[in-house]
């Protein structure tokens, strides 16, 4: 009998918002999977998040309180240097054994950039990839990714569940045109991003004075 899938949803979460949370929730329901949110350790040579890892985790814990379908996995934060998804999946695969379906969840925008990820084709040996719809201009898919879709695309109710890895599954989630960038811009403009993220998260941000423009 196939085991319950484990899905990982990585991101910066600077801050976590309803776009992330609703997409993760719907993925958990549709895939009947355990979903873990996986905050990224941003390598020093990349644009740094505004909040550090501890602060982003503090907000994620608040956002995830009171339910058990979505959980938090902080394994990438303990690592020094860049944390490549392929290494994270490798570690998880070693923990869960060879048979349990593992799914990497990515928004459609992130999916289009997959070929630039470290050892990207190895990802398919370790996990399925679940692509979440996201509003906004569609990014053209590079030909090498189109080629993978041709052979790996699998319907939501298809064979992926009986396999450990290797499929690409599309997941239509409720369109919520929310981004962390837009939320940070609201703060920078001195406005309150109410209703774009959970109230408890917004209240903690306010209480800590995060994202506030100095002297603003």
Binding interface with ligand ATP (CB under 6 A): 11-14, 19-20, 23, 106-107, 109-110, 132, 134, 176, 178-181
Is the Cβ–Cβ distance between 105 and 7 less than 8 Å? Answer: yes
Shortest reach from residue 183's CB to ligand ATP, in Å: 8
Residue with Cβ nearer ligand ATP (12 or 83): 12
Residue with Cβ nearer ligand ATP (23 or 165): 23
Residue with Cβ nearer ligand ATP (140 or 159): 140
Shortest reach from residue 118's CB to ligand ATP, in Å: 16
DSSP code per residue over 110-178: HHHTGGGSTTGGGHHHH-EEEEEP--SPPPPPPHHHHHHHHHHB--TTSGGGGSSS--EEEE-------
Residue with Cβ nearer ligand ATP (3 or 115): 115
Nearest residue to ligand ATP by CB is: 107
* Rg of the chain in Å (alpha carbons): 17
Shortest reach from residue 99's CB to ligand ATP, in Å: 26
Helix 199-208 × helix 53-64 angle, to 10°? 150
Shortest reach from residue 198's CB to ligand ATP, in Å: 14
Q: Which two tokens stand for residue 68?
A: 């058990």
């Amino acid at each position: 009998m196939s085991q319950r899938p484990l899905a990982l949803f990585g991101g910066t979460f600077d801050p976590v918002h309803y776009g992330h949370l609703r997409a993760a929730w719907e993925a958990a329901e549709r895939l009947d999977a355990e979903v873990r949110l996986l905050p990224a350790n941003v390598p020093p040579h990349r644009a740094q998040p505004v909040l550090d890892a501890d602060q982003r985790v503090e907000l994620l814990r608040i956002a995830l309180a009171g339910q058990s379908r979505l959980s938090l996995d902080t394994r990438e934060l303990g690592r020094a240097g860049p944390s490549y998804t392929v290494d994270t999946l490798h570690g998880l695969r070693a923990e869960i054994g060879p048979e349990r379906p593992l799914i990497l969840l990515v928004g459609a925008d992130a999916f289009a950039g997959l070929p630039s990820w470290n050892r990207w084709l190895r990802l398919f040996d370790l996990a399925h990839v679940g692509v979440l719809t996201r509003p906004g201009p569609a990014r053209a898919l590079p030909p090498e990714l189109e080629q993978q879709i041709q052979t790996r695309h699998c319907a939501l109710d298809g064979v992926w569940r009986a396999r450990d890895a290797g499929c690409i599954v599309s997941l239509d989630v409720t369109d919520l045109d929310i981004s962390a960038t837009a939320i940070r811009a609201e703060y920078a403009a001195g406005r309150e991003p109410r209703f774009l993220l959970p109230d408890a998260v917004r209240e903690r941000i306010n209480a800590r004075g995060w994202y506030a423009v100095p002297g603003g």
